[in-house]
């Protein structure tokens, strides 16, 4: 992507994101005394989560996330079953059914590999107990799906160009 196109997407994301943010909710856990999230964001174990209801592609969602607090905000990585359950409960209470998170395929040495957008190491199985499909294309991303269905798989492999709401994650301020 050219520099001017990237700059345009970043500016667009930053400009529009302030009207896209929706209020979050506390998840019932007690935050650390000094932990700070932006108003309306959800706190869990040293991280803040912000849900955006606008339907956009995975790439634009990542640009909007990074436009929120700079380069340390990304589409959410879900690294454990407990984090997945807490986030799923939060999203369910907010009425979300399917949202982008930060897992997508990238090319590495001629192979397609799954990676979190925040560079957190990928461990399998995923938070929902499932493994990723190894037949991936260069444009596959994962959404958190079936949020209201408690017995269904929570990860959904799909084209990154699909338009979905999205969930950003950033480290809480201290």
Return d(Cα 74, Cα 126) in angstroms, integer.
18
What is the enclosing helix (H) or strand (E) of 9?
A: helix 3-20
Q: pLDDT of 68-118, one tens digit each?
A: 766 689 999 999 989 988 998 899 889 998 999 999 988 777 777 889 999
The structure's pTM equals 0.76
For residues 87 and 76, the answer to whether their CB atoms sit within 8 Å is yes
Among the CATH numbers 3.10.100.10, 3.40.309.10, 3.40.190.10, 3.20.20.10, which is that of 3-171?
A: 3.10.100.10
């Amino acid at each position: 992507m050219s520099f001017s196109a990237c700059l345009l997407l970043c500016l667009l994301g930053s400009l529009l994101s302030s009207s896209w943010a929706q209020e979050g909710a506390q998840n019932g856990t007690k935050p650390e005394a000094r932990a700070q999230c932006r108003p309306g964001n959800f706190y869990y174990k040293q991280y803040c989560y912000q849900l955006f209801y606008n339907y956009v592609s995975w790439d634009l969602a990542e640009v909007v996330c990074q436009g929120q607090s700079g380069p340390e905000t990304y589409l959410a990585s879900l690294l454990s079953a407990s984090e997945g359950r807490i986030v799923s409960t939060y999203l369910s209470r907010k009425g979300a059914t399917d949202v982008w998170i930060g897992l997508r395929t990238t090319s590495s040495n001629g192979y397609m590999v799954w990676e979190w957008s925040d560079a957190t190491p990928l461990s399998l199985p995923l938070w929902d107990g499932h493994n990723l499909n190894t037949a991936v294309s260069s444009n596959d991303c994962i959404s958190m799906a079936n949020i209201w269905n408690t017995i269904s798989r929570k990860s959904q492999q799909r084209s990154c160009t699909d338009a979905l709401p999205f969930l950003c994650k950033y480290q809480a301020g201290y």
